[in-house]
């Protein structure tokens, strides 16, 4: 996966955090990733692209309407995650896999121009920093802690200071 361009949706009309929108040449297929797991989080990383699930085994199979996902571990073992949950970057960042940043991804330049119909995705913080440097806006990532479980997140902020 190569980063080609990026922009920040500052989301100034709503109370949500800004989101990095990234144009890439290709989005790796899950079969190309090698997954590790810790405390119920399964995470695979390749070339800065991240995929993750929350799944702790039998009895934790109600996510994605019970759909099964085949993953390959770093040891080459094939594992079937039945009904995992999608989770979020903050949960991944509390484990050994982070830091990661949830972003919007596309392989279509017109999507970046229009600003909609992206795919949700996740990048390593390192890849996200490279992407934000491609954006026209002078921006960087700032670490914030959210929720009762003190989950670390990295959100885009303007270099000029002030609110994101």
Q: Give the integer Cα–Cα distance in Å for 49 and 37.
A: 17
What pLDDT was estimated at residue 161?
A: 62
Q: What is the pTM of this model?
A: 0.92
pLDDT above 70 (res 99): yes
Give percent of the chain with pLDDT exceeding 90.
88
DSSP letter string, 78-146: EEEEES-B---HHHHHTSTT--EEEEEEES-HHHHHHT--PEEEEEEHHHHHHHHHHSSS-EEEEEEEE
- pLDDT recorded at residue 57: 82
Mean pLDDT of 98-121: 96
pLDDT tens track for 25-71: 999 999 999 999 999 999 999 999 999 999 988 788 889 998 999 99
Q: Are 56 and 62 in contact (CB under 8 A)?
A: no
Contacting residues for 14 by C-beta, under 8 A, at least 6 apart: none
């Amino acid at each position: 996966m190569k980063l080609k361009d990026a922009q920040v949706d500052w989301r100034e009309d709503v109370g949500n955090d800004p989101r990095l929108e990234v144009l890439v040449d290709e989005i790796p297929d899950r079969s190309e990733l090698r997954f590790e797991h810790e405390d119920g989080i399964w995470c695979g990383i390749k070339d800065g692209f991240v995929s993750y699930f929350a799944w702790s085994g039998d009895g934790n199979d109600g996510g994605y309407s019970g759909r099964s996902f085949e993953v390959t571990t770093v040891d080459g073992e094939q594992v079937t995650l039945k009904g995992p949950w999608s989770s979020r970057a903050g949960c991944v960042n509390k484990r050994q896999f982070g830091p990661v940043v949830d972003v919007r991804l596309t392989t279509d330049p017109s999507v970046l121009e229009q600003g909609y119909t992206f795919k949700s995705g996740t990048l390593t913080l390192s890849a996200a920093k490279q992407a934000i440097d491609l954006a026209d806006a002078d921006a960087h990532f700032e670490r914030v802690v959210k929720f009762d479980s003190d989950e670390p997140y990295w959100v885009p902020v303007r270099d000029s200071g002030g609110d994101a």
